[in-house]
C-alpha cells in the first residue's frame, strides 16, 4: 500500500484567507515595496508627492512599451526590437521637425518608423516562419545600428512648443503629462484586449494556434497586427522620451525590452501566450520604476541597483508561478 506524500505547502495554505495570492503577486509585491521603502527611506523624501509623480513620469515610457508588449506576448511571440525602435522613432521625429515639417509631420514620421519595423518583424515571423526571438533580436541590432548612423551618435534637439507641450515633462494640474499618456494607453489596451473580438483572437492565437485557426481566427494576421502594436507603442515611447529630455538620442530605450518583458510577466501574462492582463502589466511597470527610484534614493550604485532589482523580479516571478502538479 503506497503512502500519500503531502506537499510541503498544502494547496489550502496557498490560498490565504481566500485570496488567490499567486494571481495577485504583482499587487502584493508593489504594496510590499512601497511599505519597505517608506519605512527605510521615508525620511529622505520617498513618499513626497513630487517623488511619487517623478516615479510616474520616469516610468511612463516603459509602461507604454509594456502595454504594447502584452499583446505580442499574449499571442505567443516576443519582440526584442522595441528599445531600438523607440530611439529610431525619436530621432526621425526630431529630424523631421528640424527639417520644417512641424509637429504633425514629426509625429507621423515617428509613428511610421514603428509601423515599418512592426511590418518587417511580422513578415519574417508569419510568412518566412522564423522564430520571433531571432527576428526581433536581429532587428534590435539592425535598428540600433541605424540609430547610431543617422546622426553619428549626436543628439538632436527639439525646439517645438507644441511637441514639448504634448510630449514634454509638464503636467495637467498636478498629474504629469507623461503619466497621463501611459494611463490612456493602458486603458485603451485593457479595453481592446479584454472586451473586443481582436483581444479574444490574440489570446486564442497564443493559447492554441491550431485550434484558433480551425475556429476561423486568422492567426498570421493577428500576429502581424500585434507586431504593429509593439512598433507603434515603441515609437510613442520614443517621442515621450524626446519630450521629457528635450532632445532625441540614439541610446533611448536601451534595456527597455527587458524591463517591458519583466513588467508583462510580473503582471501575470503568460510568457507562452494565451493569457494576458494589461492592468497587471501597468502595475508591473510601476513596480519596476518604484524599485529603481527607491534604490537610487538609498544611494546604491548602478551595479548594486541592478543586482537588487533583478533579484526582486526573479523572486516575484518564482513565487507567482503556479507549481507543476
Domains of the chain, each with CATH number or no CATH: 19-320 (1.10.3470)
**In the Cβ-directed half-sphere of 129, how many Cα atoms lie within 13 Å?**
0
Grid cell digits, residue 6: 503531502
Q: Answer for the pair 26, 319: CB distance below 8 angstroms, yes or no.
A: no
Give residue 18's pLDDT: 54
**Dihedrals phi, psi of 236, to nearest 5 degrees:** -60, -45
Instruction: Cell 502594436: give the residue.
Output: 229
Closest listed residue to residue 167, CA positions, set 229, 101, 236: 236
- Fill in the DSSP letter of residue 176: E
Residue 300: Cβ-neighbour burial (10 angstroms; 0-12, 13-18, 19+): middle
**Residues 6+ away with beta carbon under 8 Å from 99:** none
Grid cell digits, residue 72: 505580442
Give residue 47's pLDDT: 86
Give residue 14's pLDDT: 47
- For residue range 277-310, what is the model confidence (pLDDT) as tens digits? 999 999 999 999 999 999 999 888 888 878 887 7
Q: Answer for the pair 217, 197: CB distance below 8 angstroms, yes or no.
A: no
Separation CA 226–CA 78 (nearest Å): 10
- For residue range 151-202, what is the model confidence (pLDDT) as tens digits? 999 999 999 999 999 999 999 988 999 999 999 999 999 999 999 999 999 9
Grid cell digits, residue 134: 531571432
Give residue 6's pLDDT: 42
Question: DSSP labels for 87-129?
Answer: HHHHHHHHHHIIIIIHHHHHHHHHHHHHHHHHHHHHHHHHTS-
Distance between alpha carbon 24 and the CA centroid of its chain, in Å?
Answer: 19
- For residue range 53-84, what is the model confidence (pLDDT) as tens digits? 999 999 999 999 999 999 999 999 999 999 99
Number of neighbours of residue 114 by Cβ within 10 angstroms? 29
Q: Answer for the pair 133, 80: CB distance below 8 angstroms, yes or no.
A: yes
Three-class SS of residue 206? helix
Grid cell digits, residue 113: 518608423
Q: Answer for the pair 241, 61: CB distance below 8 angstroms, yes or no.
A: yes
Grid cell digits, residue 116: 515599418
Distance (Å) of CA 110 to CA 17, 88, 184, 295 = 49, 8, 19, 33
pLDDT: is 306 or 8 the higher one? 306
**In which band, very low, low, confident or very high, does the pLDDT at 25 lie, cut at 50, 70 and 90?**
confident
Number of neighbours of residue 147 by Cβ within 10 angstroms? 28
pTM: 0.91
**Residues 6+ away with beta carbon under 8 Å from 47:** 38
* Residue-averaged pLDDT of the chain: 90
Burial profile 312-323: b = 16 or more Cβ within 10 angstroms, e = fewer: bbeebbeebeee
Give residue 15's pLDDT: 53
Residue 246: Cβ-neighbour burial (10 angstroms; 0-12, 13-18, 19+): middle
Amino acid at each position: 500500500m503506497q503512502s500519500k506524500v503531502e506537499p510541503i505547502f498544502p494547496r489550502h495554505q496557498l490560498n490565504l484567507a481566500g485570496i488567490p495570492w499567486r494571481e495577485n503577486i504583482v499587487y502584493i509585491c508593489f504594496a510590499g515595496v512601497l511599505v519597505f521603502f517608506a519605512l527605510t527611506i521615508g525620511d529622505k523624501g520617498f513618499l513626497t508627492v513630487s517623488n511619487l509623480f517623478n516615479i510616474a513620469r520616469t516610468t511612463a515610457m516603459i509602461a507604454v512599451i509594456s502595454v504594447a508588449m502584452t499583446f505580442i506576448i499574449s499571442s505567443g511571440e516576443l519582440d526584442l526590437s522595441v528599445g531600438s525602435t523607440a530611439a529610431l522613432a525619436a530621432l526621425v521625429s526630431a529630424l523631421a521637425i528640424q527639417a520644417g515639417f512641424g509637429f504633425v509631420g514629426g509625429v507621423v514620421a515617428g509613428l511610421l518608423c514603428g509601423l515599418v519595423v512592426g511590418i518587417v518583424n511580422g513578415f519574417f515571423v508569419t510568412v518566412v516562419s522564423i522564430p520571433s526571438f531571432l527576428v526581433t533580436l536581429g532587428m534590435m541590432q539592425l535598428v540600433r545600428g541605424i540609430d547610431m548612423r543617422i546622426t553619428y551618435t549626436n543628439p538632436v534637439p527639439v525646439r517645438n512648443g507644441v511637441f514639448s507641450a504634448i510630449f514634454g515633462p509638464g503636467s495637467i494640474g498636478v498629474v504629469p503629462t507623461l503619466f497621463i499618456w501611459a494611463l490612456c494607453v493602458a486603458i485603451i489596451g485593457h479595453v481592446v484586449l479584454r472586451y473586443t473580438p481582436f483581444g479574444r483572437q490574440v489570446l486564442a492565437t497564443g493559447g492554441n494556434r491550431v485550434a484558433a485557426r480551425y475556429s476561423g481566427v486568422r492567426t498570421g494576421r493577428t500576429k502581424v497586427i500585434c507586431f504593429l502594436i509593439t512598433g507603434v507603442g515603441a515609437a510613442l515611447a520614443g517621442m515621450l522620451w524626446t519630450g521629457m529630455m528635450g532632445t532625441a538620442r540614439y541610446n533611448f530605450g536601451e534595456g527597455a525590452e527587458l524591463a517591458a518583458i519583466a513588467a508583462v510577466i510580473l503582471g501575470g501574462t503568460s510568457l507562452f501566450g494565451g493569457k494576458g492582463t494589461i492592468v497587471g502589466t501597468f502595475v508591473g511597470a510601476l513596480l519596476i520604476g518604484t524599485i529603481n527610484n527607491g534604490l537610487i534614493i538609498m544611494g546604491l550604485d548602478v551595479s548594486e541597483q541592478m543586482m537588487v532589482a533583478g533579484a526582486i523580479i526573479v523572486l516575484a516571478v518564482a513565487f507567482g508561478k503556479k507549481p507543476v502538479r
